[in-house]
Amino acid sequence: MGAAKGTGRRARRTALALLITSVALVCAGFAVLDLPAGAQAAARVTAADIVVVESDTGNILAFDADNNVRVVQTGVTTPTGVTAMADGAVLVAESKNERIVGYGGPFADGVAVADKIPSPLALTTGADGIVYVASANGQLGKIDVNKPPGQRYTKLTEGLKEPSGLAERGGIVYVAEAGAGNITQVSATGEKAAVAQNLQQPVGVAIGPGRTLYVSEQKANPSPRSTRPACVPTSPASTVPSNWPSTPSSPRPPPPRTRSPWPPRTRSRPSTATASGSSPSRR
């Protein structure tokens, strides 16, 4: 009888231990499902925001539609370019580290989205979610964040002179070449064509309604930080793709707009204008 009672107690203790272990595993499973690495990061910006990098402080700032400013991220290493995606994620070019890092959206904060990119300078996001990056070595490439790490970056073209600002529409990328004084369009297959020439060190470009580009030029004399706007029609017609859309053809919402970070911005906020792309103007 005593042996039977002892066996029964041991069986109950074993069953209770198994039950506790099962509950613990289920709870742990819920915790893992609830917080997968990087997948639950909050959106950092909205479609109404203008996103700015401060190269000297390592800060990423966002201006909302009411001109209120907030700090999106601090402590970024030599940020030289920034772009935002439709899901609210922010991608930042770290020139010194030769990589593009992500914050928010599907990215764990500070994760390397693409690396081994020589001194990336300017970024912009296309309507299809492809990210374009210009580098100090004159190279223009694209990043597909849906591909596996190590396979995301593809070179489009090279030979650009100080590419400092980017804008995209319909698969065509417009590059502000500060070193050449040109705005150059680059096709999806990498062919280049000058859209505007003899500009004063263009450092930013944005796309407005219709077939108009807006350009920010760096003046050669008074101040290395002073800029003036320039309106550049994309003509003659031979330089404009025949399928140029007046608005992005993709049904996805447009990404938040960004300011060109090259050269580093002044503390005063520039006036707004109707435009989009990598430029100090608000759409």
Residue-wise pLDDT tens digits, 10-43: 554 444 333 333 323 222 222 222 333 434 457 7
Residue-wise pLDDT tens digits, 241-279: 444 444 333 344 455 555 544 444 434 343 333 334 443
Q: Kind of pairing, strands 131-135 and 50-54?
A: unpaired
Nearest to 168 by CA among 146, 185, 193, 190: 185
Percentage of the chain modeled with pLDDT above 90: 49
Is pLDDT at 55 greater than 60 in this prediction? yes
| Sequence-separated (6 or more) residues with CB below 8 Å from residue 1 | none
**Cβ burial, residue 88 (10 Å; 0-12/13-18/19+):** buried
Most confidently modeled range among 36-45, 211-220, 237-246: 211-220
Nearest to 182 by CA among 146, 241, 229, 232: 232
b/e string for 135-160 if b means 16 or more Cβ within 10 A?
bbebbbbbbebeeeeeebbeebbeeb
Q: Which residue has the higher pLDDT, 6 or 160?
A: 160
Is pLDDT at 137 greater than 60 in this prediction? yes
Is pLDDT at 78 greater than 60 in this prediction? yes
Q: Looking at residue 43, what is its pLDDT? A: 79
Is pLDDT at 73 greater than 80 in this prediction? yes
Question: Which amino acid would we find at residue 200?
Answer: Q
**Cβ burial, residue 264 (10 Å; 0-12/13-18/19+):** middle
Nearest to 49 by CA among 271, 264, 254: 254
Is pLDDT at 105 greater than 80 in this prediction? yes
Q: Looking at residue 205, what is its pLDDT? A: 93
Q: Looking at residue 10, what is its pLDDT? A: 54
Please tell me the distance from the alpha carbon of residue 280 to that of residue 226, in angstroms, as a whole number: 12
Q: Looking at residue 24, what is its pLDDT? A: 30
Please tell me the distance from the alpha carbon of residue 256 to that of residue 282, in angstroms, as a whole number: 10
Q: Looking at residue 229, what is its pLDDT? A: 42
The architecture that CATH gives domain 50-278 is: 6 Propeller (2.120)
The backbone torsions φ and ψ at residue 142, rounded to the nearest 5 degrees and listed phi first, read -135, 150
Q: What is the mean pLDDT of the chain?
A: 73
Q: Looking at residue 37, what is its pLDDT? A: 40
Residue-wise pLDDT tens digits, 155-206: 999 999 999 999 999 999 999 999 999 999 999 999 999 999 999 999 999 9
